[in-house]
Amino acid sequence: MGKMIEAVNVSYIYQTKYQKTKALSEVSCSFERGKVYAITGKSGSGKSTFLSLLAGLDVPTEGTLTVEGEDTRKMNRDAYRLNRASVIYQAFHLFPLLTVMENVMFPMELQHVPMKEAKTRAREYLEKVGLRETLYKKMPSMISGGEQQRVAIARAIAAGGEILLADEPTGNLDSQNEKVIVELLCKLAHEDNYAVIVVTHNEAVAAAVDVVYGMSDGSLSVVRG
Amino acid sequence: MRVFIRQTARNIVRHPYKSILHVLIGVLTVLILELYAGNLDSTKSQLAHLPEVLTVPATISCLNGSMRECLAIREDRVMGVRESEYVKDPAFTVRLRFGFGEFNVETAKDAVTYLNHYGRGMNMLKGISGVEREGVTFLEGVDESILETSQKVCLMEESLLEERGLQLGDEVKLTLYYYRCAQEGSEVFIEPLITDTYRIVGSLRLGRYQGNWMPPETILPLDCVREAYHSQGIEFFADSGSFVVKDPFQLNALKKQMHDEAKFMSVITRAEFRYNGNALTIMDESFIRSAELLSKNLALLRGMLPFVLAIIVFIGYLCSYLSLQSRREEYALMRSLGTGRGRSFLLLFGETALLAALSGFLGGAVGVFLFGTAARVWAFSGALFFAAFMAGTAAALLLLHRLSVMEILTKKD
């Protein structure tokens, strides 16, 4: 299978008025569809920075990051996040004033999907992540953490992209919910052909994925591949 | 666009307390702005309409200012005033003595027998006190403007008409005598002017006459009398003159013209009395005082405008900044889901714009109810509020754009 995302000598420097901090140092790696990747490492090792580059929220200071051959520097990164890559966060980050259903419909609204179709598709995604229909009209604050993370995953796949990025997706969950979410992410990669990249320092999560990269002081190395 | 409107409206409705607070702050700001704009408008309007409320009259007097009638006002001065572009309603009179028919006065007895009536040449009725438009009955098709012509016509006192058995429309032969001042202006002589036939075009009923001289029994058009002077080779002098300053905001230009061209002087109270009407008194004190006061107020209010605007910009900034602080995650999430910077800006800007527009409208409506605000003040305040408030909002939003999306969303709760 071809490389979906490829990083070649990617470096990233945080620059403030007074100092420069090298968060990533010549990172080279690639990601394919149909696989689940984990990037592990200590806090401050550069995992989240790398994830933000993969999400198109920023561009490398040096080196190139390409998605199916297209340099992220040159692409429309808003459209990339809207249509191809979605991010799931540890704190779920659902819109607090939208219902579960409306949260999942949000990316489709941005894509101008007609309301009726968006509703039907949102239902499908919510069913796919195993959420009961009784929760659809509830506000995020009224459902459990595990359920909120499943809504976040449903919202991520609702955009219809092929890349799922997750930043400590099980960090706020108990072990039972953690297992459900990891299984769900693996299922999305293996059955629906997503490229799933998970940033984690949870060993159980790392053990469940196909490829594990380790990050230390901004440098990336293969731990298990 | 529909999605944009739906999202904006939904956000407003789902942040009810914030939206209401936003609108309340907006309404209060608009009300304060309306008070300011109302003051500005009213001061401007008062200043613009000051000449209508406070007219500035001017009177010609002798040099020491003690007399305003029975003077000798040179013709060039009369014409200088009448032809000035800064003068409105110039009123001049010339006093006459007259008798009916043709006669010569050679003795004092002749004067008593024949020259026993008093008349005036006038170019408008308000030239002397006691003569009102209501007290004059004109012949059909004739009005006061006939006094501005040089036609050989006259208005005659009602009792004199009755005494003489005359009626409107009759023609009457009159012998006119005029008042001549000695060259040095200290003595007055009565001299023959002309004998001519005049058509009676109006009857005159005098009201409370307050002049220093005898009330007129007949009034002739000033220019008719002036022409009589000219036809007899006599130098014309008017005996009283007054006018209203056309545009009191051009007082200086008027004064300069009156001084340089008509050769009028200011009153010198210590000057020796002379009959010469060569001093001009312009009663402009109250106008100048009021205009200065209003101008100062206006300048003060206008000077406050940048500060008022800065305060509203700051209010807009503060309201939006505080409101956005609790929505940073929402903003970051929108960006993370692929909403572009421009669209995120427009979405939040649109929300505030809707609330600001609502505040402007409600503030205006409350202003109309409370202070009776005029529509233009409402529009001005509303527009000013909207522009300044949204400038503040834009600044707050631009600040939000500088935040790192990933930094906000990867905070581990």
Residues A80-99, mean pLDDT to the nearest whole number: 89
Distance, in Å, from the CA atom of B35 to the CA atom of A102, rounded to the nearest integer, reads 44
Other Cβ atoms within 10 Å of A69 Cβ, number = 8
The whole-number pLDDT of residue B169 equals: 93
Does A52 sit within 8 Å of B337, measured CB to CB?
Answer: no
Record the tokens describing residue B286, joined without a space: 């109250």
Return the CA Rg of chain A. Answer: 17
Tokens 């010198």 — which residue?
B268
C-beta neighbour count of A19 within 10 angstroms: 7
Q: Within an 8 Å CB–CB cutoff, is residue A51 touching chain B?
A: yes
Q: Name which of B229, B245, B248 is nearest B237 in CA terms.
A: B229
Angle (nearest 5°) at CA B268 between B265 and B270: 155
pTM: 0.69
Collect all residues with Cβ–Cβ distance below 8 Å to A73 and sequence separation of at least 6.
A59, A60, A64, A65
B29, B363 Cβ separation under 8 angstroms: yes
Q: Which 3 state secondary structure label does DSSP give A47?
A: helix
The type of residue at A86 is S
Percent of chain A with pLDDT over 70: 99
The Cα of B404 is separated from the nearest Cα of chain A by a number of Å equal to 9
pLDDT at A30 over 60: yes
Instruction: Single out the residue of B59, B11, B26, B48 nearest to residue B364, CA to CA.
Output: B26
HEC secondary structure over B110-127: HHHHCCCEEEEEECCHHH
3-state secondary structure B296-347: HHHHHHHHHHHHHHHHHHHHHHHHHHHHHHCCHHHHHHHHHCCCCHHHHHHH
Mean pLDDT of chain A: 89
Q: Report the pLDDT value the prediction gives residue B1, as an integer from 0 to 100.
A: 67
Phi, psi torsion values for B131, nearest 5 degrees: -100, 110
Given B15, B337, B412, which is nearest A91 (Cβ)? B412
For residue A150, the SS3 value is: helix
* pLDDT confidence band for A5 (50 / 70 / 90): very high
Of A57, A79, A159, the CB nearest to B406: A57
d(CA A162, CA A68): 11
State residue B413's pLDDT score: 44
How far apart CA B392 and CA B383 sit, in angstroms, is: 14
Parts of chain B with a pLDDT under 50 = 413
What is the per-residue burial (b if ≥16 Cβ within 10 Å, else e) of A76-112?
A: ebbebbbbbbbbbbbbbbbbebbbbbbbbbbbbbbbe
Please tell me which of the candidates A49, A51, A110 has its beta carbon nearest to residue B338.
Answer: A110
User: Tokens 């702005």 identify what position?
Assistant: B33
Chain A positions in Cβ-Cβ contact with residue B335 (cut-off 8 Å): 57
B338 backbone φψ class: left, alpha, beta (φ>0; ψ -120 to 50): left
Instruction: Compute the distance between CA of residue A123 and CA of residue A97 in angstroms, rounded to an integer.
Output: 19
Residues of B in contact with A107 (CB under 8 A): 337-338
Q: Is B263 within 8 Å of B63 (Cβ atoms)? A: no
Assigned token pair, B192: 């023959």
Q: Decide: A38 and A203 in contact? Cβ < 8 Å.
A: no
Residue A1 pLDDT > 60: no
Q: In this predicted structure, what is the pLDDT of residue B412?
A: 52
Is B186's Cβ below 8 Å from some Cβ in A?
no
Chain B contact for A190 (CB, 8 A cutoff) = no
Q: ipTM for the complex? A: 0.87
Q: What is the mean pLDDT of residues A182-204?
A: 90
Q: How far is CA B316 from CA B342, B390, B392, in A?
A: 20, 6, 4
HSE of A89, CA atoms in CB hemisphere, 13 A = 22
Q: What is the CA B36 to chain-centroid distance, rounded?
A: 24
Nearest Cα to Cα of residue B94 among B1, B170, B203, B180: B180
Q: Is A130 in a helix, a strand, or coil?
A: coil
Question: A222: pLDDT confidence band, cut at 50, 70 and 90?
Answer: confident
A155: chain B residues, CB-CB within 8 Å? 337
Task: Give the residue from A127, A143, A76, A91 showing the smallest Cα distance to B333.
Answer: A91
Of the candidates A78, A91, A97, the beta carbon closest to that of B411 is on: A91
**In the A/B pair of chains, how many CB contacts fall below 8 A?**
75
Closest residue in A to B329 (Cα) is: A93
Report how far Cα A92 is from the mean position of its chain's Cα atoms: 11
Instruction: Strands of A16-57 (E only): list them.
Output: 20-32, 36-41
Q: How far is Cα B105 from Cα B97, in angstroms, rounded to an integer?
A: 12
Mean pLDDT of the A114-131 span: 91
With 0-12 CB in 10 A as exposed, 13-18 as middle and 19+ as buried, what is A189?
buried
